[in-house]
Structure 1
Amino acid sequence: MKKLSLLILITVLTFSCGNKKSKSESEPENITQVNPAENYSGTASITQGIATTITEDIYTCDRGRKTDVGEISSTDGKTWIVPAKTHYLNNDFPFATDLHNSCEGLNYDTAEEALANFNAANTITIDNDGETYTAYIFADNYFEMYVNGEPVGKDKVPFTQFNSSVVKFKVKKPFTIAMKLVDWEEHLGVGCEENRGKSFHAGDGGLVAVIKDAQNNIVSSTNDTWKAQTFYTAPIEDLSCVSEEGNYRYSKNCSTEGGQDGANFYALHWETPTDWMATDFDDSNWPNATTFTNKTIGVDNKPAYTNFTSIFDDPEQDAKFIWSTNVILDNEVLLRYTVE
């Protein structure tokens, strides 16, 4: 009888334990799942973390940083190329001529020396009866330049070492300059590079340009009358720090401290209009460019700039470094300006 009672007790306990649900298997508790979009009310697509590398080393340079390209998906199901979709590997888009390029061993000391080595065949003709203009450009890091919608030159060095460029084109006035600017990144998708003791340090951008006519007169130089719109902002630690006012996209309240791990950093992406470089594109609602000092951009120790201060820092028409409102967090910027 005792054996039978013990057997019944074991059976009951076994059945009871076998049907008891663990905490993880029980009915879900009221746990709030955080959706990153809940802290963001703007028009951009949101990505988080590191992108997948799809192309490695589109350009290599001694003591230069890696120039990889990546791909990442946003919370709304779109796919984005980072740091930007460019024409660097497009053979139909011409390279600019070097003004100063340590990667290629072309360390010209003066503009005259660089122009003496300029191949006239590299002049892009837009109007056969136009005038020839020369653009001197220093970009941190990469640019693509259009005149009246026609490609006239792209940067030879996407990242570093820092270089500067010359672009010649033949066109009639008025003409419209459109430029894509990219602050390249080592950590794809979060706008970061290793710097100042941090693995994920936010990079910065900046562009200065001077356009001269055949008589060596300045017809335009970069300043705050140019238009500048951002299309990729990162790294963002807290999406509540960004804001929009009409077509103004602000990240001025966001941290630029970076850190040792970017897995949780966010990025904001806006689609670029297909005709943004066209002469008749309406940029009237774009913000004006923001200007920055040489010290802020940090060019005082870069021969690609300092060898040509007579051009970039002309005492009568000093060209300004320009970008969108945030030279640190905005990584892809489009510029437009019409020379009358």
Structure 2
Amino acid sequence: MMYVKNFIPVLFFACFTLIACKNSKKNKPENPETYTGTASVSQGPATVLTQNIFECDRGRKAPIGTSTATDGSQWTVPAEVNFTDDSFPFASDLFNPCTKVEYRSADEALAALDGTDIIEVDADGELITAYVFADNYFEMYINGVPVGKDNVPFTQFNSNILRFKVNRPFTIAMKLVDWEENSGLGSEANRGQAFHPGDGGMVAVFKDAKGDIIATTNSDWKAQTFYTAPLRDLSCASEQGSLRLSDACSTEDSNDGTSYYALHWKTPLNWQSADFDDGEWPNATEFTNNTIGVDNKPAYTNFTDVFDNSAADARFIWSTNVILDNEVLVRYTVD
């Protein structure tokens, strides 16, 4: 009789606890403590420090914010950039609706340059010309020297031309950023939804003084991600060696993403320099023009003879996830 008497309240308590746990799990996102990767984890919107770092007619706001992770670390989102640093040179416009400098061809853009744009990495080096289309933003270093940054951090979509003097071999290092309207949540208002994960992508072509192509973006480049968002469920993210994978994570739009998570990794010191060891970094992933969606963007289509050259077709590159990975560092050495 004692067994029966004590069993009923124990059974009731167990059932009540089970129901409460199930409801709690249903209503709450994944617990950050279940994440076992190497990133710091933040949840929810960042604290916005600057509402918009660049004004452009018909352009999106480009905020800068700070996210605080569960381990107490703080992170600048979408990335620490040099856009407002006057010592870091702007690249020249190839096609820019924000400044109304919109060249119809690469030759026309090149003819408009007067030489003051050339950055000397090596005073006795050869003249190299780079053509870049980045969605959304880039900063380029050659052997650790800043040679140009994007003129537009978010939109409208633009492209750039950069010139520098350097001796071979030389190392190209670029910071790539897919900007965000929802600071700290890797998303923007788009397609009728408040939280739409945008996509990135960068393509570049490098020519020597004779106009010959000496390098293009492709899967031979190295690419590592340092900021991934938005994530609904932390268990979808994984790591395989140096690969930081989010291909199993949802990329669906949402009207309520304020509880979503983000992953942050610290950028290594001297990642821009020629002697930085990127041997453990994954190779870049190639994406088609159609996947990036450039067929309706004159910042790209005006220059397909350069970017889609029949003899040396440049490929759009990024990390493994062009949608959720928002800060990516890429590197390549030209022999």
TM-score by length of 2: 0.91
Aligned residue pairs: how many?
312
Match of 1:300 in 2: 295
- Amino acid paired to 1:264: S
Q: Aligned partners of 1:134 and 1:196: how far apart in 2?
A: 37
Match of 2:171 in 1: 176
Q: How far does residue 74 in structure 1 lie from its aligned partner after superposition? A: 0.3
Runs (4+) of structure 1 moved beyond 2 Å? Answer: 29-39
1:198 to 187, 193, 201: 193
Match of 2:86 in 1: 91
Q: Secondary structure at the match of 2:263?
A: strand
- Amino acid paired to 1:234: A
1:80 to 75, 84, 92: 75
Q: Aligned partners of 1:65 and 1:272: how far apart in 2?
A: 27
1:198-230: CA deviation from partner (whole Å, max 9, x where unpaired): 110001000000000000000000000000000
Match of 1:66 in 2: 61
Q: How far does residue 192 in structure 1 lie from its aligned partner after superposition? A: 0.4
Q: How far does residue 38 in structure 1 lie from its aligned partner after superposition? A: 2.9
1:280-299 map, 5 Å: 280-299=275-294
Q: Aligned partners of 2:131 and 2:102: how far apart in 1?
A: 15
TM-score by length of 1: 0.90
Q: Aligned partners of 1:267 and 1:80: how far apart in 2?
A: 10
Q: Secondary structure at the match of 2:109?
A: helix
Larger radius of gyration: 1
Match of 2:156 in 1: 161
Q: Secondary structure at the match of 1:121?
A: coil
1:1-150 map, 5 Å: 36-150=31-145
Q: Aligned partners of 1:321 and 1:119: how far apart in 2?
A: 29
Q: Secondary structure at the match of 2:32?
A: helix
Match of 2:254 in 1: 259
Give the gaps of 5 or more residues in structure 2: 1-16
Q: How far does residue 82 in structure 1 lie from its aligned partner after superposition? A: 0.6
8 Å Cα contact 1:97/1:167 also seen in 2 = yes
Q: How far does residue 39 in structure 1 lie from its aligned partner after superposition? A: 2.4
Question: Percent identity, aligned pairs only?
Answer: 61
1:7-40: CA deviation from partner (whole Å, max 9, x where unpaired): xxxxxxxxxxxxxxxxxxxxxx998798723321
8 Å Cα contact 1:173/1:339 also seen in 2 = yes
Q: Aligned partners of 1:158 and 1:291: how far apart in 2?
A: 22
- Amino acid paired to 1:280: D
8 Å Cα contact 1:226/1:289 also seen in 2 = yes
